[in-house]
Amino acid sequence: MKKTLLTLFAIIFCSYLFAQELVQWRGDNRDGHYKESELLKKWPEKGPKLLWHYDDLGAGHSSAAVSKKTIFISGTIEEDGYIFAFNQNGKLNWKSKYGEEWFNSYEGVRSTPLIYGDKLYIMSSYGNIVCMNTTNGKHIWSVNVLKDYDGRNIQWGVTENLLIDDNKLYCSPGGTDANIIALNPDTGKLIWKSKGNGNKSAYCSPILIKLNNQKLFVTMMANAIMGIDASTGKLLWQFEHMNRWAVHANSPLYKDGYLYCVSGYGKGGVMLKLTDDGTGVTEVWRNTTMDAKMGGIILHNGRIYGSGDNSRKWACLDWKTGKELYTSKMMKKGSIIFADGLFYCYGQNGKVGLVDTKSGDYKLISSFKVPFGEKQHWTHLTINNKKLYVRHGNSLMVYSIAK
């Protein structure tokens, strides 16, 4: 009887763990793919229907994080960062301050909230990580990685969309002693710290790789790509990867033992093959045509899609060889996501486009100009429950893209 009760308890506990809702930057797998269906295949001339908009977010470039009940987004009031929480109809439920934000250059919030169960995590451009209750915004704990963990700020302010897995919250302070850290997501207490490669952080949001029976934390620091044992913090390998400004703002892409990392300012991308035990990498190919700076890239059907920085073209590369298959100037350079067979591109001139590539080219099906907001169009789009979320500076716009 006792054994039966223990087994039942274990099942219930595991079910609870797996039931925790996870909402993070660029979709479930941080790869720009959104698992949506029955979406419009063509938009009306003026764009899809605008459901609502909110125009008092303050300065910033972060994306919306959309849970089943609530829309969360970071913004600013005066020079402080806030989390704004809306219901599905656009009513502001609450807002909660998390600390000073960046107003030196390209002002405003950088990072998108991370939602896990009933907790929200956000890191400011000054390295302040705050954990909040998703119901009311009440602070649960906070840690400043620049002050508490040897961290070093960078030219345009620390920018990292936090990563959570296996009851660990990962972050890259970029210090010489605490280069990468793993925190307890319930308390903020340190689980491990790693000297990593000693580089400063480089605006990169990390990924977690599952390789055989282990997990690797992978990110790009100022001068190198590196892989770390996610359970212990041990540095497994590093691979030199530099550009003019030490900006590596795109999350790496991983599939079946291969890792693609790309950066702007003419650097381009490199494909690496991981060893079976995850302790090393070898270079497979390089390509400079697609030198995406911060708009992300998409892997779809064995091809890589994204826009260049110096090249100012949208490009398609073969995943296995890096060969350039085609390029296009259908829109200004920008960010890219994917849902229901089509690409959603957001150009830095404020145009949002619906794009098809089935014909072997970038075919712009429909587009519209973002009507609200100010300054740079740098945000990554979000799709949830057949709605498209577009952030432009102080404004969040929500469109219906359901058939």
Beta bridge partners of 346: 335, 352
State how many domains the chain has: 1
Burial group, residue 309, by CB count within 10 angstroms (0-12, 13-18, 19+): buried
Six-digit token string for 383 = 């799709």
Distances (CA, A) of 330 to 134, 279, 364: 40, 41, 7
Tell me the pLDDT tens digit for each residue of 77-127.
Answer: 999 999 999 999 999 999 999 999 999 999 999 999 999 999 999 999 999
Are 314 and 363 contacting, i.e. CB atoms less than 8 angstroms apart?
no
Report the chain's mean pLDDT, rounded to a whole number. Answer: 95
pLDDT tens string 253-294: 999 999 999 999 999 999 999 999 999 999 999 999 899 999
Whole-model pTM?
A: 0.95
Contact at 8 Å (CB) between 132 and 74? Answer: no
pLDDT at 13: 46
Q: Is residue 131 part of a domain?
A: yes
In single-letter form, the type of residue at position 389 comes to Y
Domain annotation covers residue 93: yes
- Select from 156, 179, 311 the least CA-distant residue to 233: 179
18 has a pLDDT exceeding 60: no
- Is 342 among the domain residues? yes
pLDDT tier at 4 (50, 70, 90 boundaries)?
A: low
Tell me whether residue 236 is in a domain.
yes
Instruction: Note the pLDDT tens digit of each residue in 24-83.
Output: 999 999 999 999 999 999 999 999 999 999 999 999 999 999 999 999 999 999 999 999
- What torsion do the CA atoms of 305, 307, 312, 315 make, to the nearest 10 degrees? 0
Domain-located, residue 9: no
Instruction: Assign 7 to helix, strand or coil.
Output: helix
Is residue 14 one of the residues assigned to a domain? no
pLDDT in the model for residue 280: 98
Return the pLDDT at 12: 44
pLDDT band at 1, cuts 50/70/90? low
**pLDDT of amino acid 197:** 96
pLDDT band at 137 (very low <50, low <70, confident <90, very high): very high
**Listed residue (362, 377, 301, 300) closest to 330, CA to CA:** 362
- Identify the domain containing residue 241 by its residue range: 21-400
Q: What is the pLDDT of residue 7?
A: 52
Residue 16 clears pLDDT 50, i.e. is over it: no
CATH of residue 369: 2.130.10.10
Q: Say if 12 falls within a structural domain.
A: no
Asked if 285 contacts 262 with a C-beta cutoff of 8 angstroms, the reply is no
Tens of pLDDT, residue by residue over 362-395, are 999 999 999 999 999 999 999 999 999 999 999 9
Rg of the chain, C-alpha, whole Å: 20
Residue at 242 is within a domain? yes
Q: Give the residue-averaged pLDDT of 172-186.
A: 98
Q: What is the pLDDT of residues 303-344, one digit of tens each?
A: 999 999 999 999 999 999 999 999 999 999 999 999 999 999
